[in-house]
Structure 1
Amino acid sequence: MLNRVVEQFGLQFSSMSEVEDSHSSTVYKITLLNGQNLFLKIPYTRLKYQRELEAYEILKGRVAIPELLDYWSGDEECPGALLLSELKGKPLTTDVSPAASYQVGVLQATMHTIEPPAGKELTGIQNEFLNWSQFIEKQFYSFAEDVKEVVDEGIYKQSIKKYEEMKQQIPAPDGPSFVHMDFRPANIIVDGDKVAGMIDFESVRFGSTEIDFTKLYRDFLSFDPSLYQAFKEGYQTIRPLIDLDVVLPFYLFTDAFNSVGWCKRRGIEKNAVFLEENLERLKEFL
């Protein structure tokens, strides 16, 4: 299938290597004969391909993202493929300056200003905003079936009770906004103190902004108060920021729970470290 995709795009390259930390697509870094780097992305499903394609159309010229150079709608064996330019830099880490964190806030807030396009029918990106609480609940109880097979009965029952209690405290959703759904350091590219942009749009929706702070806080903002403060300041230059102290506990809890279920679905052995991390987080909440 890879050979067919390469042939479809007419690529002449000197090297190709698979990119790690890509969980719902197969991604290759390709160096062309002229030394230029490109990325070839093959989503796992047709829906994920369609979401990516629509996201590039919606975000182009509005938020810093790679350039969509070409795409192929696939065939009976391939769900589709996208050829993307390279964003110069590396994935975000906690070693960056507050100035970079400020720019991450600006980037995310700018994305959150984007509303569902009027008069345009989307086939990949769903608008979940009007039924946001049902959307979150559906995700939670879907993963619950997997979590039940991983944790003991006591932890499972405690988790369900905790969810039902915490969901009552969540304020009205903030949106409808374009939400990334996987806004984490691996998908934010920085070059020194400059944020180059963001990648990976196979899970995007129109929904409530509150869900997009979860993974960023879990993997980045929670480690350094100065980074957290700078992020909030950057975000607020574009749009008002919701009360994260109110919503984050609920979303961090559901993220830990859902991530345990995700590890069960994707394979406990190959996701053992991530599984243990989330089991610990879950137990802390309980």
Structure 2
Amino acid sequence: MLNRVIQQFKLNVLAINEVEDSHSSTVYKCNLTNGENVFLKIPYTKLKCQRELEAYEILKDRVSIPKMLDYWPGNEECPGAFLLSELKGQPLTNKDLPLVAFQVGVLHASMHQIQPPTTLQLTGIQNEFPDWSNFVERQFYSFAADVKEVLDERLYRQAIEKFENMKLQLPPSDGPSFIHMDFRPANIIVDEDRVSGMIDFESVRFGSTEIDFIKLYRDFLSFDISLYRSYQEGYETIRPLIDLEVVLPFYQFTDAFNSIGWCKRRGIEKNASFLKENLLILKKVLR
């Protein structure tokens, strides 16, 4: 499939390396004979491919993302492929400075400012906002059968009861906004002290912003209060930030639950450390 995609885009490749930490696509970094670096992205499904394609149309010139240099709609064997420009830099880490956290806040809020388009017909990106609580519930229970095979029965029942109780206490939803659904450090590229942009749009929706803070908080903001404050300041230059203390416990819990189900589907041995991490979060909430 990779060779077919390279031929399709007529690339003169010097070296190819598969990008790690990509969970819903196969991604390759290609060093071309002219010295340029580009990325090949092959989503796992037609739906993810369509979401990504529509996201590039919606986000273009509004937030910093890679340029889509070419697109192939695929065939019976391949759901489709993207040829993307390189964003200079490396993924965000919790060692980055508050100055960077401020820019991450600006980037995130700029994306959340985007509302469902009235002139563009979307077939991949759904607007889940009008029925947001049901969307969250569907996501949770879609993983429940997988989670049940991992947790003991008492803990599983406890998790279901916790979900049903916590969801009743949520404030009104904030949106409709363009939400990334996987806004984590690996998908935010930083070049020294400047945020280059964000990547990976195969899970995007229109919905409530409240779901979009979990992974960033878990893997970046929670490590240092100065990062959190700078992020908040940057975000609020664009739009008000919701009260995260009210919504984060619920979404951290549901994310941990869903991630346990994801690990079961994708292979417990292969994702053992991620499974352990989410079991700890779940047990801490249920304690």
Q: What is the alpha-carbon distance in structure 2 between the residues aligned to residue 92 and residue 41 of structure 1?
A: 20
Match in the other structure for 2:120: 120
Give the match's secondary structure for 1:65.
coil
Task: State the Cα distance separating 1:34 from its structure 2 match.
Answer: 1.1
Letter in 2 for 1:229: R
Amino acid at match of 1:105: G
Q: How does 1:48-87 map to 2 (within 5 A)?
A: 48-87=48-87
Specify the alignment match of 2:154 in structure 1: 154
Partner of 2:179: 179
Per the TM alignment, residue 122 of structure 1 is displaced from its structure 2 partner at its CA by 0.3
* Alignment deviations for residues 242-276 of structure 1 (CA, whole Å, 9 cap, x no partner): 11010001000101111000000110010000000
Structure 1 SS opposite 2:168: helix
AA of the residue aligned to 2:30:
I
The aligned counterpart of 1:97 is 97
1:40 aligns with 2:35: no
2:284 paired residue number: 284
Pairs within 5 Å for 1:148-227: 148-227=148-227
Please give the alpha-carbon distance, in whole angstroms, between the structure 1 residues aligned to 2:119 and 2:239. 24
Write out the 4+ residue segments of structure 1 that deviate beyond 4 Å after TM superposition: none
Write the letter of the residue equivalent to 1:175.
G
What SS does the aligned partner of 2:82 have?
Answer: strand
Amino acid aligned to 1:181: M
Query: How big is the alpha-carbon RMSD for the aligned residues of Structure 1 and Structure 2?
Result: 0.5
Corresponding residue for 1:242? 242
Residue 252 (structure 2) pairs with residue 273 (structure 1): no
Once residues 259 and 222 of structure 2 are traced to their aligned partners in structure 1, the CA distance between those partners, rounded to angstroms, is 18
TM-score (norm 1): 0.99
Residue 131 (str. 1) matches residue 131 (str. 2): yes
Post-superposition CA distance 1:222-249 (Å, at most 9, x none): 1100000100010000001111010001
What is the TM-score of this pair, normalised by structure 2? Answer: 0.99
Total equivalences in the alignment: 286
Aligned AA for 2:277? E
* Counterpart residue identity of residue 19, structure 2: V
Q: Distance in 2 between matches of 1:263 and 1:126?
A: 25
CA deviation vs aligned residue, 1:4-48 (integer Å, no higher than 9, x gap): 111000000100111100001000000000111000000000000
Letter aligned with residue 195 of structure 1: V
Task: Give me the whole-angstrom Cα distance separating, in 2, the residues matched to 1:13 and 1:262.
Answer: 34
Q: Percent identity?
A: 73
| CA offsets 1:106-130 (integer angstroms, 9 cap, x no match) | 0000000000110321011010000
> Structure 1 counterpart of 2:55, which letter?
A
Cα distance in structure 1, aligned partners of 2:221 and 2:155: 28
- Return the alpha-carbon distance in structure 2 between the equivalents of residues 62 and 223 of structure 1: 29
Distance in 2 separating the partners of 1:194 and 1:113: 21
Query: Which secondary structure state, in structure 2, belongs to the residue aligned with residue 14 of structure 1?
Result: strand
Per-residue deviation, residues 169-194 of structure 1 (Å, max 9, x unmatched): 11111110000000000000001111
User: Which residue of 2 is the match for residue 258 of structure 1?
Assistant: 258
